[in-house]
A and B are shown apart, each in its own frame.
Chain A
């Protein structure tokens, strides 16, 4: 069923114009070379973000992860990541205390098996937005509505 409609339609059905992205879909968008079917699956979503038709929240954990390799690479790579984050329809979701507490609960309860994933999911939970991810385990967590990129590739 998922393949008959795109990720963009799925996000629009799930929420009123916004979503939280996990780190991998963000990397697909800005790196573009690896996992080309997944890059193509994400493109309509991020095209809509670039056009300002849809809002995208990037959790602070994903910001940190996305900057690791560009920091090792140099200023041009940093600027390229920054350009994504500074789009008008992109916002960074800070790890507030309520999000940290929800993340801790998810990890402590064994609902999500890693702290980074738990904080990403907690960000989506706190904002009441769907989470777009490429991690099958995170997609099964059942805490928030998740959209697995592979289902749309």
Chain B
């Protein structure tokens, strides 16, 4: 699996953003969209190494609950496990062994 550093390198063609005098930066729209950060979201900044800061979403915009997000058409998880998530999970976990099989 690609690490966050590999992903940063892969996106190296992205134009840099200058940090303002009071520390403000603009998150490029393409990067925001790719990770589901929308205007109004709450983010935290986590130092991860020299010159590297991780911006992580910790909450949605006020007025929209998580459940409302999951119910919306924006939810990227809709239908992700196919028509029958229980069958998908059953296949993932494999056969149930009865005591005689143990």
Chain A positions near chain B (C-beta within 8 angstroms): 23-24, 27-35, 43, 46-47, 50, 65, 68-71, 73-77, 79-81, 83-84, 86-87, 107-110, 113-114, 116-117, 134, 137
A87 / chain B contacts, CB cutoff of 8 Å: 66
Contact of A86 among B58, B92, B99 (CB under 8 A): B58
A50 / chain B contacts, CB cutoff of 8 Å: 65-67
| Shortest Cβ distance from B83 into A: residue | A34
| Shortest Cβ distance from B85 into A: residue | A27
Q: CA–CA, A79 to B10, complex, Å?
A: 19
**Docked-complex contact B81 and A34, CB < 8 angstroms:** yes
**Docked-complex contact A83 and B86, CB < 8 angstroms:** no
**Docked-complex contact B98 and A75, CB < 8 angstroms:** no
Known: A50-B66, A74-B76. A110 touches B98 (CB 8 A): yes
Q: How large is the interface on B (under 10, 10 to 19, 20 to 34, 35 or more residues)?
A: 35 or more
Check B47 for interface membership: any CB of A closer than 8 A. no
**Docked-complex contact B65 and A83, CB < 8 angstroms:** no
**Docked-complex contact A76 and B34, CB < 8 angstroms:** yes
CB distance from B80 to the nearest CB of A (A): 5
**Docked-complex contact B89 and A77, CB < 8 angstroms:** no
**Docked-complex contact B35 and A76, CB < 8 angstroms:** yes
Known: A24-B86, A69-B81. A80 touches B98 (CB 8 A): no
**Docked-complex contact B35 and A73, CB < 8 angstroms:** no
B89 / chain A contacts, CB cutoff of 8 Å: 23-24, 27, 65
Known: A83-B66, A87-B66. A30 touches B94 (CB 8 A): no
Check B6 for interface membership: any CB of A closer than 8 A. no
Q: CA–CA, A73 to B77, complex, Å?
A: 9
B83 / chain A contacts, CB cutoff of 8 Å: 34
A30-B75, A73-B77, A116-B92 given. 10 additional CB < 8 A pairs? Answer: A31-B79, A31-B80, A35-B85, A50-B67, A69-B88, A70-B76, A70-B77, A75-B34, A77-B76, A77-B80
| Shortest Cβ distance from A23 into B: residue | B89
Known: A34-B83, A134-B86. A47 touches B67 (CB 8 A): yes
